[in-house]
Amino acid sequence: MEKTDITLVEEVLLLLHHEEPLNSYSFHIVLAGAVLMELAIRNRVDCGLDSFTVIDSNPTGDPILDRYFQQISAKDTQQEVKFWLKDIADDGKQLVKLGFNGLIERGILGKTEKRLLWVLKTKTYPTLDSSVEHNAKLRLMNIIYNDDMPDSRDVAIFSLLDHCDLFRALLPPAEVTRLQTKIRNISQLNPIGIEASSLISEHNTFIAVVAGGGTGGGSWEGIRNRRSNYSKTWKILCLLESRQ
Got the DSSP string for 191-244?
HHHHHHHHHHHHHHHHHHHHTT--S----HHHHHHH-TTHHHHHHHHHHHHHT-
Q: What is the pLDDT of residue 62?
A: 94
Confidence of residue 49 (pLDDT cuts 50, 70, 90): low
Q: What is the pLDDT of residue 77?
A: 78
Task: Lowest mean pLDDT of 13-17, 19-23, 98-102, 144-148, name the range.
Answer: 19-23
What is the Cβ-side half-sphere exposure of residue 98, based on CA atoms within 13 angstroms?
20
* Pairing between β-strand 120-124 and β-strand 112-116 as defined by DSSP bridges: antiparallel
Can you give the residue ranges of every domain in the chain?
8-242
Cβ(35)–Cβ(88) below 8 Å:
yes
Continuous segment of H or E residues that includes residue 112: strand 112-116
Q: Quick one: average pLDDT of 2-17?
A: 83
Task: Lowest mean pLDDT of 38-42, 128-132, 198-202, name the range.
Answer: 198-202
- The radius of gyration of the chain from alpha carbons, rounded to an integer in Å, stands at 18
> What mean pLDDT value characterizes the chain?
83
Greater model confidence, 229 or 98:
98
pTM for the whole structure = 0.82
Continuous segment of H or E residues that includes residue 188: none
Q: What pLDDT digit, counting tens, does each position of 172-207 carry? A: 999 999 999 999 999 988 889 889 988 888 887 877
As a whole number of angstroms, the distance between CA 30 and CA 18 comes to 16
Confidence of residue 144 (pLDDT cuts 50, 70, 90): very high
Answer yes or no: is pLDDT of 95 > 50.
yes
Q: What is the pLDDT of residue 243?
A: 57
Q: What is the pLDDT of residue 228?
A: 41
CATH architecture of 8-242: Orthogonal Bundle (1.10)
Q: Could you give the residue ranges of the DSSP H alpha helices within 47-130?
A: 63-74, 81-89, 92-105
Cβ(4)–Cβ(132) below 8 Å:
yes
Q: What pLDDT digit, counting tens, does each position of 57-68 carry? A: 999 999 999 999
Task: Lowest mean pLDDT of 71-85, 181-195, 229-243, name the range.
Answer: 229-243
Q: What is the pLDDT of residue 18?
A: 80
As a whole number of angstroms, the distance between CA 223 and CA 236 comes to 22
Confidence of residue 98 (pLDDT cuts 50, 70, 90): very high
Q: 67, exposed or middle or buried, with CB in 10 Å at 0-12, 13-18, 19+? A: middle
